């Protein structure tokens, strides 16, 4: 995964996207026991085109020039299928902006905060998101003030109550 | 769950140990967790293949160029 992260860092440095953070199951695994996943979900803040459109095409093009072609909805980068997800709403934008900086075997990278991962799960609302919220609650020391703030600002308090009471 | 022969207490002890194991796994360093995920992928891939679903475990080492 180290080399995959190096490629992501290079793309960010070159301005292909302005910032990235790991989310999804692998983001959650940073805080919990390891969970099965086959993709590395990466949230990206993209630059808008002159026409105001947001597209993943520049990322795919930049990766293609490095020899990494798309396979279905992912791009295998150094043996790991990366699923790029544009920051499609204010919650994801915030999760990327405030992601934790970590060191992965000497390579810097970012992981979405546990409080944001919970909020994203609540917003997405699938059965597996519910299970992930339960796991994060059980196995992570959450910043409850920060969580309350995120849930309030993104209108997720009712869903949180529904899932946790 | 409690029974006269103490089976309930034993089951409770097993469940508590399993919970502790999960908490211990959650405290592993992230690179070790990534290696564990790859092991899970290999196990799952074998099972899924028998059901006709092809998935590919990560191969970060092989990809070195």
**How far is residue A21's CA from residue A144's CA, in Å, rounded to a whole number?**
22
Q: Compare all CA atoms of chain B with the CA of A27 and give the residue at the minimum distance.
A: B30
Which residue segments constitute the domains of chain A, with CATH numbers given? 2-164 (3.30.460)
Q: With 0-12 CB in 10 A as exposed, 13-18 as middle and 19+ as buried, what is A158?
A: exposed
Q: Compare all CA atoms of chain B with the CA of A78 and give the residue at the minimum distance.
A: B63
State the pLDDT confidence band at B7, using cuts at 50, 70 and 90: confident
pLDDT of residue B60: 85
Q: With 0-12 CB in 10 A as exposed, 13-18 as middle and 19+ as buried, what is A99?
A: buried
Residue B49 pLDDT exceeds 80: yes
Residue B4 pLDDT exceeds 80: no
Q: Measure the CA dihedral A124/A34/B61/A65, to 10°.
A: 10
Handedness of CA A47, A99, B23, A135 (dihedral sign): negative
- B5 to chain A, closest Cα gap in Å: 32
State the pLDDT confidence band at B65, using cuts at 50, 70 and 90: very low
Chain B residue set in contact with A, beta carbons under 8 Å = 22-23, 25-26, 28, 30-31, 33-34, 36-37, 40-41, 44, 55-64
pLDDT of residue A93: 96
Residues of chain A with C-beta less than 8 angstroms from the C-beta of B36: 34
State the pLDDT confidence band at B2, using cuts at 50, 70 and 90: low
Between B36 and A72, where is the model more confident? Answer: B36
Q: What is the pTM of this model?
A: 0.91
Q: Cβ–Cβ of A36/B41 closer than 8 Å? A: yes
pLDDT of residue B61: 59
Instruction: Give the model confidence (pLDDT) of B15-34 as tens digits.
Output: 999 999 999 999 999 999 99
Gyration radius from chain A CA atoms: 16
Handedness of CA A106, B23, A79, A54 (dihedral sign): negative
Q: Compare all CA atoms of chain A with the CA of B22 and give the residue at the minimum distance.
A: A33
Average pLDDT value for chain A: 95
Regions of chain A short of the pLDDT cut 70: 49-52
pLDDT more than 90, % of chain A: 92
State the pLDDT confidence band at B5, using cuts at 50, 70 and 90: low
Q: Is the ipTM of this complex over 0.85?
A: yes
């Amino acid at each position: 995964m180290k080399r995959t992260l190096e490629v992501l860092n290079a793309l960010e440095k070159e301005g292909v996207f302005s910032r990235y953070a790991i989310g999804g199951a692998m983001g959650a695994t940073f805080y919990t026991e390891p969970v099965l996943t086959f993709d590395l979900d990466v949230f990206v803040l993209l630059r808008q085109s002159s026409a105001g459109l947001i597209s993943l095409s520049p990322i795919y093009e930049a990766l293609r020039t490095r020899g990494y072609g798309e396979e279905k909805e992912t791009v295998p980068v150094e043996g790991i299928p990366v699923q790029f997800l544009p920051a499609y709403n204010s919650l994801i934008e915030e999760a990327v902006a405030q992601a934790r900086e970590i060191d992965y075997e000497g390579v810097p990278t970012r992981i979405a905060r546990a409080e944001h991962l919970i909020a994203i799960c609540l917003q997405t609302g699938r059965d597996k998101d519910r299970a992930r919220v339960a796991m994060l609650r059980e196995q992570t020391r959450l910043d409850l003030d920060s969580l309350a703030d995120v849930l309030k600002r993104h209108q997720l308090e009712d869903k949180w109550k529904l899932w946790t009471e | 769950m409690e029974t006269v022969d103490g089976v309930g207490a034993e089951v409770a002890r097993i469940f508590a140990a399993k919970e502790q194991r999960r908490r211990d796994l959650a405290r592993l360093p992230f690179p070790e967790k990534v290696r564990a995920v790859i092991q899970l992928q290999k196990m799952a891939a074998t099972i899924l293949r028998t059901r006709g679903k092809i998935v590919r475990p990560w191969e970060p080492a092989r990809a070195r160029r």
